[in-house]
Amino acid sequence: MPGDVGVGISSLDDSFSAGKEAAFASIEKTGQRAKVLVVFGAMRFDHRELLAGIASVAGGIPMLGGTTAGEISPEGVTTGSVVIMALAHDDIEFVTGIGHDMSIDETACGIEMVNDMLKRTAFDPDASLMVFPNGMGGDGLKVLEGLQKILGKDFEITGGFFGDDERFENTFQYYNGKVYRDTIVGLMIVDPKKNYRRGIGVRSGFSSIGNSLLCTSSDGNVLKEFEHTKALDLYKDFLGEERAARLPAVCLEYPFGIIDHDPNGTGDHLFQLRCGLSVDHEKGTITLAASIPEGSEVTLTTASRGDIINGAREAAEEVKKTLGAAAPEAIVMFSCVGRKLVLGRRIQEEVGVVRESLGPDVPIIGFYTYGEIGPADKTKKGRLTAKFHNETVVLWVLGKM
Tell me phi and psi for residue 230, to 5 degrees: -55, 130
**pLDDT over 70 (residue 6):** yes
pLDDT of 78-114, one tens digit each? 999 999 999 999 999 999 999 999 999 999 999 999 9
Q: Which of 397, 395, 392 is nearest to 370 (CA)?
A: 392
Give percent of the chain with pLDDT exceeding 90.
83
Q: Which of 239, 219, 234 is nearest to 292 (CA)?
A: 219
Q: Are 271 and 204 in contact (CB under 8 A)?
A: yes
**pLDDT over 80 (residue 352):** yes
Neighbours of 245 (CB within 10 A): 10
Q: In the prediction, which pLDDT does 264 show?
A: 62
pLDDT of 293-340, one tens digit each? 999 999 999 999 999 999 999 999 999 999 999 999 999 999 999 999
Q: In the prediction, which pLDDT does 142 show?
A: 92
Distance (Å, whole) CA 283 – CA 295 = 21
Mention every residue, 6+ apart, whose C-beta is less than 8 A from residue 191.
Answer: 91, 92, 93, 126, 127, 128
Mean pLDDT value across the chain: 94
Please state the rounded mean pLDDT for residues 143-163. 96
Q: In the prediction, which pLDDT does 381 show?
A: 75
Please state the rounded mean pLDDT for residues 46-55. 98
**pLDDT over 80 (residue 69):** yes
**pLDDT over 90 (residue 145):** yes
**pLDDT over 60 (residue 267):** no
